């Protein structure tokens, strides 16, 4: 068994990662910001995604979140 296998399914993530991912998955703020490209709110949200624990967990568990 290879313990360094980089292909993980969502059952292999911890409870906190799954909870953050679920919270982000149901949040509508990022898609709302994407509807106003170039606005200050959109720029703030794009910056926010660089460190957001919800966005990070969502991309791990579900893949990239559709923004439009």
Residue 66 in any domain: the answer is no
Q: Structurally, how many domains does the chain consist of?
A: 1
Residue 54 in any domain: the answer is yes
Domain that holds residue 46: 14-61
Q: Alpha-carbon distance 42 to 52, whole Å? A: 15
Residue 5 in any domain: the answer is no
Residue 35 in any domain: the answer is yes
Query: Which pLDDT band holds residue 18 (cuts at 50, 70, 90)?
Result: very high
Mean pLDDT of the chain: 82
**Least reliable range by pLDDT among 7-16, 35-44, 48-57, 58-67:** 7-16
Residue 48 in any domain: the answer is yes
Contact of 27 with 54, CB cutoff 8 Å? yes
> What pLDDT does 1 receive?
44
> What pLDDT does 12 receive?
85
Using the predicted structure, report yes or no on whether residue 5 has a pLDDT greater than 70. no
Using the predicted structure, report yes or no on whether residue 37 has a pLDDT greater than 50. yes
Residue 53 in any domain: the answer is yes
Residue 55 in any domain: the answer is yes
């Amino acid at each position: 068994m290879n313990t360094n296998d980089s292909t993980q399914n969502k059952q292999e993530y911890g409870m906190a990662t799954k909870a953050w991912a679920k919270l982000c998955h149901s949040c509508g703020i990022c898609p709302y910001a994407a509807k106003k490209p170039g606005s200050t709110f959109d720029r703030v949200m794009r910056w926010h995604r660089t460190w957001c624990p919800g966005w990070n967990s969502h991309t791990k568990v579900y893949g990239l979140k559709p923004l439009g």
